[in-house]
């Protein structure tokens, strides 16, 4: 059975951290979009201004930051 061609990440390679950076950015953006979207729907449901949308975006950014911390920031224990 043929194996897929993969090359190990080299520490001196300029692109070695690109996947990690994109994962962190995607996690942060997804949190803001999901919780901001829920806030937007709640705003439409209760006929308010964009207050719940703003709260949702802030909570999504905080939640995304916490998930990034859990994955990448804790270090080895």
pLDDT tens for residues 44-63?
999 988 999 999 999 999 99
pLDDT bracket for residue 7 (50, 70, 90): low
Phi/psi region, residue 75 (left: phi>0; alpha: psi -120 to 50; beta: rest), is left
* End-to-end Cα separation, the chain, in angstroms: 39
pTM: 0.74
Domain limits of the chain?
A: 19-72
DSSP string, 6-74: --PPPTT-TTTTHHHHHHHHHHHHHHHHHHHHHHHHHHHHHT--THHHHHHHHHHHHHHHHHHIIIIIS
What does the pLDDT look like over 9-53, one tens digit per residue?
A: 566 667 778 888 999 999 999 999 999 999 999 999 999 889 999
| Residues constituting the chain | 77
């Amino acid at each position: 059975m043929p194996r897929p061609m993969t090359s190990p990440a080299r520490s001196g390679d300029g692109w070695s951290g690109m996947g990690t950076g994109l994962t962190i950015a995607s996690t942060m953006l997804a949190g803001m979009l999901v919780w901001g979207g829920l806030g937007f729907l709640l705003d439409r449901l209760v006929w308010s201004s964009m207050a719940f949308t703003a709260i949702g975006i802030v909570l999504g950014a905080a939640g995304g930051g916490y998930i990034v911390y859990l994955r990448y920031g804790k270090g080895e224990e």
